[in-house]
Amino acid sequence: MIVTRRISLAKLLGFTWPRLLALFAFVVLSCVMMDQVSRDLLQALSYAAGFLGTALAFLIGFRNNTAYGRWWEGHRIWSKLKYNSRSFALLTKGLIGGGEETAAVRNELIHRQIAFAWWLNRFLRKLEPGKVLDGLLSDDERQAAAKRQTPPLALLESQAAALRQLADDGHLDAYRHVRFTELLQDFNEALSSCERLKKTPFPMQYTWFVYYTLIIFLFVLPLSLAGHLGYWSIPFSLLIGYAYIMLEYVGRQIENPFENSVNDVPMDYVSRTIEIDLRELLGEQDLPEPVKPVGKGYLY
């Protein structure tokens, strides 16, 4: 996620330079054709460009609104996961009886919840969990989960088994067991919702239609302006065309919130926040550093 309030022109050009080169090529082509085509025909193209630009603005606006909805849903899922993880840790400390007898189990439950957040993070980004799981899971449990198609689900299964054993041993009454079960259902809902966003791409037919319409508009725009402004159409074509390019770029980038890019939901930040908060609840002192923006204001 980009968190800086100031985005330099160089950064914007770095994001969109391929389409900007295409726009520049169309502008150069219009300069060549300006003296080859009658001025009346060029002026007539302005009507086509006007209608096409208006339609394209509506299309891009609708697409961006839908793309932002996908990004915001991903952000809400991870915010709720952070809330539920804190609740799970608080209930683990406060509702599970047994005192020192169950202290190790309570620690395992909380550490496994931290591992769930990190592994869900890596699972969505198709990355290996790596060192972020060190000290959170036993080697056997980690290897067993890694063999599963959905490793985070394997961790939830282990949580359910541990809680069931506590209930069988008399350290967790029926009401409290139900409360923990509801939280596990919430974690499974977060996992399933993230998978839905990840595996259900934005309709490609709509994306292609916007893309090809944008290309046609960028081609017609400098020609239509040339009939009225002459060579002054060059800077105006670049400005207007680049505005459309940036709007299309924004929607295309935020429609997939779990792709390990600078426009993602900041899952590393949320996962590390969960880890720090839950480790503090356990009274641990050797805490990891919070995730901070890197580069030019990118928060992962």
Q: In this predicted model, what pLDDT tens digit does every residue of 145-197 receive, in sequence order?
A: 999 999 999 999 999 999 999 999 888 898 899 999 999 999 999 999 999 99
Say if residue 30's pLDDT is above 80: no
Residues 77-86 have a mean pLDDT of 97
The first and second tokens of residue 69, run together, are 């909805």
Angle between helices 39-95 and 174-199 (to 10 degrees): 160
Q: End-to-end distance of the chain based on CA atoms, in angstroms?
A: 6
Say if residue 199's pLDDT is above 70: yes
Residues 240-255 have a mean pLDDT of 82
| Chain segment 108-148, per-residue pLDDT in tens | 999 999 999 999 999 999 999 988 999 999 999 999 999 99
Long-range CB contact pairs, 10-16, < 8 A, 24+? 11/296, 12/246, 15/249, 15/253, 16/242, 16/245, 16/246, 16/249
Cα distance between residue 50 and residue 184, in whole Å: 54
Query: Is pLDDT larger for residue 209 or for residue 137?
Result: 137
Cα distance between residue 31 and residue 48, in whole Å: 19
List residues bridging with 2 in a β-sheet.
298
Residues 104-108 have a mean pLDDT of 93
Q: Are 124 and 194 in contact (CB under 8 A)?
A: yes
Cα distance between residue 228 and residue 95, in whole Å: 76
The SS3 of residue 298 is: strand
Q: Mean pLDDT of all residues in the chain?
A: 86
b/e code 69-108 from CB counts within 10 Å (16+ = b): ebbebbbebbeebbebbbebbeebbebbeeeeebeebbeb
Say if residue 67's pLDDT is above 70: yes
